[in-house]
Amino acid sequence: MSTKDVRTHTMLDLEIAAHPLKHNPAIIQTGAIHFHIETGKVLKTFSIDINLESCIESGLITDSDTLQWLEKNIPGTRPNRPPTDLRKPWMHYNDFCVRTYCEAAFSITGRNIRREVDKSFVGKNHNAIDDCKHQILYLTKCRDAFRGLQGSAITPVPAGPIFESSVKRPRTVLDDNRSRMGLD
């Protein structure tokens, strides 16, 4: 029996003006989509363009390669919006990453969902809303792949004793602490 998922599902995407591995890259666009988790149906969208100069004034960074790419591919990089000091309206344990879902789907099913979905990208690359829609498709395809395994992937745990290896491992500090607490 399936229980109804009452959580709100929102996909977020940021377009940035520096390499993603750099600390504190300047954000030039934010997109969010509220969607139905079972179908991927878009319920509401939100997108805002952010002025690059305001990000730089706030101490966020850029790099020349990304700025050249932006000017070539996204001319006139974005109008101005006032800065805000917003906190996440959700708890940290409700924060999931699409990449993690895709990696788990690959590890468990052997299917490269990202490669399958990337063949059919709809919209404009590096547009936050179009990227959100694409990531929602990743998520729904991963969930479908997991559902296909529900009856077959779960194997029963063997009954009876589980024997330890006869090879002795070196004793660790954790073992000593467990002994002091009477846990071994």
Would you list the domain boundaries of the chain?
9-147
**Does pLDDT of 91 surpass 80?**
no
Backbone angles phi, psi at 56, to 5 degrees: -65, -40
Q: How confident is the model at residue 156 (pLDDT cuts 50, 70, 90)?
A: very low
Q: Identify the pLDDT of residue 72.
A: 73
**CATH-assigned architecture of domain 9-147:** 2-Layer Sandwich (3.30)
Dist. CA 139–CA 169, nearest whole Å: 41
Which ranges constitute the DSSP H helices of the chain?
Answer: 52-57, 64-73, 98-109, 113-118, 128-147, 173-180
Q: How far is CA 120 from CA 24, 73, 111, in A?
A: 31, 21, 16
Phi/psi at 175 (nearest 5 deg)?
A: -60, -40
Highest mean pLDDT among 54-63, 71-80, 147-156: 54-63
Q: How far apart are CA 43 and CA 92, in angstroms?
A: 23
Residue 115, classed as helix, strand or coil, is helix
Q: Report if pTM > 0.85.
A: no
